[in-house]
Structure 1
Amino acid sequence: MSAHDVLADALAAVLGGHAPLMAKISGVFDAQPVRGVRPYALVEDALLTDWSTKDLVGREGRLSVTLFDQGVSPRRLRGLVGEVEAAVLGLPRMLGEGWRVASLSAVRSRVVREGEGRWAALCEFRVRMLA
């Protein structure tokens, strides 16, 4: 299994297993849902680059989770951003298939208006992992 697959599976599992988040959204998806009911989370494919050492294979990556919501204000969405951060930062250090997390940190988050009563929030993280 590739580093991308291991990371995507672990991210989906940690988000889907975070009860405070799942109680407030309709689902976690890895592609834009055809009939997704807002609010929901979309896990983007990670951008991975080489982070190998002399004797270990490694990857450094950017993980992105986009939240989609609707409403008069982004207040609820801001709370969902906090839940996504808590879930992702709780990613287990042992990912499987021999991959482990060396470091994980939140990089940035931003809430934007998509249109009348429609909101989106991007949550971005940096992960460094070794095999």
Structure 2
Amino acid sequence: MLDTLYSQIGAVITVLVVGFAFWKGEEPEKIAAGAYGLGWFASMLVQDDGNLYGIQWSMLAVDVVMLGVLGALVWKSRRGWTVWATAMQLLVVMSHVMTLVDVRPSASSFYFVINLAGYGVLVAIAVGTFWTWQERRAAGLE
């Protein structure tokens, strides 16, 4: 779970972005950050470290649910960052699908794409929250 320095740094970044979204964001940012935080926690709970080369169905399920949440945000809210976050999450799901259809990418490239796309989702949420916060400040609402 949080046994390496890399995972601890990732946890700090995740908590900071989710906290920032809940502090300064509006409803779409809070929904995305809440879903990301729950998905991150759920994926740590269901992750099977002994099955590095097989399909992790529970991880795929968590990632598909997150894709559904972000897809709904794209549909319901008219914000540009939601499209970017959904595109990054789609990369994660497609990485699982590649393994499912037996393309067999190397384990390191598989996890690299999933981790990098996860950070892409976090960056999109953070940028969207920052833009929303600045728009409220410019309108004199904050």
TM-score bracket relative to the smaller structure: 0.3 to 0.5
* Larger proportion of helix: 2
TM-score of the pair, normalised by structure 2: 0.33
